[in-house]
C-alpha cells in the first residue's frame, strides 16, 4: 500500500496549463474512449459518491452511473433513504477502459497509474464540493480516495480518513451485486449494500 500511495501522490502534478477534463490526454485511456465523463450534481453537496470509471453506457452518454450499475444503485439508494440527486456523483477515473470484442466493449479495471493520473481531477472535485462525507464504491474508488489499495471486503461499512483529509465511507461497487452468480448471492449482497447506504443516510441526517 505504501508504494501505491506514493504513486498516487505523483498524480497530483498538474497537467499542462489550460488542460480541461474534456481535453485531458494525461493517460492512454483518452485515446479510445468516446469522451471523458465528468462528475455531476450540486457543487455544495454534503455527500460525494465515487465509483470506478464510466461504463459502456456512461461513455456514450457522457454522464456517470446511467447504465445497469447506476440503475442498481438508484434502486437500493432510494430504498435506503439516500437521495442521489442531492449528492455529487463522480468516478475515480474519467475515461472508459475496455477491450473490444466483436461489437462489444469489455470493461477493464483501471490500473494504479491510471487512477493516479486521474486523481488530479478527483482532487479538483473534492476541493470544489468539499463534501462532509465521501462514499467510495469499490476498490478503485477506495484506492483513489485513501491511497490504500487493499481489498474492501473487510473495510466496507466503515469510515476511513481520505488523502484529502476528510471522511470516506467504504462500500462495494454496485456492479458487484450484478455479478453474483445466484439469486441468493445477489440478495445477500444487496442487503449488505443497502445496510451501508442506510448508514450513510443516517450520517448525513445527523449532520443536518
Ligand atoms: N461504474 C462506475 O464505476 N461508474 C459509472 O459511472 C458507471 C459504472
For residue 51, how far is its CA from the centre of ligand 1 (angstroms)? Answer: 5
pLDDT of residue 186: 97
Eight-state DSSP code of residue 13: S
For residue 64, how far is its CA from the centre of ligand 1 (angstroms)? Answer: 6
Q: Which atom of ligand 1 is nearest to the CA of 69?
A: 8
Using a 6 Å cutoff on CB, does residue 69 contact ligand 1?
yes
Distances (CA, A) of 143 to 7, 24, 198: 11, 21, 23
pLDDT of residue 202: 98
Using a 6 Å cutoff on CB, does residue 67 contact ligand 1?
yes
pLDDT of residue 25: 86
Eight-state DSSP code of residue 40: B
Using a 6 Å cutoff on CB, does residue 59 contact ligand 1?
no
For residue 206, how far is its CA from the centre of ligand 1 (angstroms)? Answer: 28
pLDDT in tens, the chain (208 residues): 455 555 666 566 777 777 899 998 888 899 999 999 999 999 999 999 999 999 999 999 999 999 999 999 999 999 999 999 999 999 999 999 999 999 999 999 999 989 998 999 999 999 999 999 999 999 999 999 999 999 999 999 999 999 999 999 999 999 999 999 999 999 999 999 999 999 999 999 999 8
What is the value of ipTM here, to two decimals? 0.93
Using a 6 Å cutoff on CB, does residue 39 contact ligand 1?
no
pLDDT of residue 9: 60
The answer to whether the CB of 191 falls within 8 A of the CB of 177 is no
The answer to whether the CB of 12 falls within 8 A of the CB of 127 is no
pLDDT of residue 60: 97
Strand stretches in the chain, DSSP E:
47-51, 88-91, 98-101, 104-107, 133-137, 159-161, 167-171
pLDDT of residue 18: 78
97: nearest Cα among 112, 85, 75, 79: 112
Using a 6 Å cutoff on CB, does residue 64 contact ligand 1?
yes
Eight-state DSSP code of residue 87: S
- Quote the cell numbers at residue 186: 445477489
Nearest CA residue ID for atom 8, ligand 1: 55
Q: Measure the CA–CA gap between 129 and 35, rounded to whole angstroms.
A: 23
Amino acid at each position: 500500500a505504501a508504494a501505491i500511495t506514493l504513486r498516487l501522490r505523483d498524480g497530483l502534478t498538474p497537467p499542462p496549463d489550460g488542460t480541461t477534463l474534456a481535453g485531458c490526454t494525461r493517460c492512454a485511456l483518452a485515446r479510445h474512449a468516446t469522451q471523458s465523463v465528468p462528475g455531476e450534481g450540486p457543487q455544495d453537496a454534503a455527500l460525494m459518491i465515487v465509483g470506478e470509471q464510466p461504463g459502456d453506457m456512461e461513455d456514450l452518454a457522457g454522464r456517470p452511473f446511467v447504465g445497469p450499475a447506476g440503475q442498481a444503485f438508484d434502486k437500493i439508494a432510494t430504498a435506503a433513504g439516500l437521495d442521489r440527486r442531492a449528492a455529487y456523483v463522480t468516478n475515480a477515473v474519467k475515461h472508459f477502459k475496455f477491450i473490444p470484442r466483436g461489437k462489444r466493449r469489455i470493461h477493464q479495471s483501471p490500473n494504479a497509474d491510471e487512477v493516479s493520473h486521474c486523481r488530479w481531477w478527483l482532487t479538483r472535485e473534492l476541493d470544489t464540493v468539499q463534501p462532509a462525507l465521501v462514499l467510495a464504491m469499490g476498490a478503485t474508488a477506495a484506492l483513489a480516495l485513501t491511497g490504500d489499495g487493499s481489498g474492501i471486503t473487510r473495510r466496507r461499512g466503515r469510515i476511513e480518513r481520505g488523502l484529502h483529509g476528510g471522511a470516506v465511507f467504504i462500500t462495494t461497487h454496485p456492479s458487484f451485486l450484478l455479478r453474483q452468480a445466484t439469486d441468493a448471492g445477489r440478495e445477500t449482497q444487496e442487503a449488505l449494500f443497502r445496510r451501508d447506504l442506510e448508514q450513510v443516510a443516517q450520517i448525513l441526517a445527523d449532520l443536518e
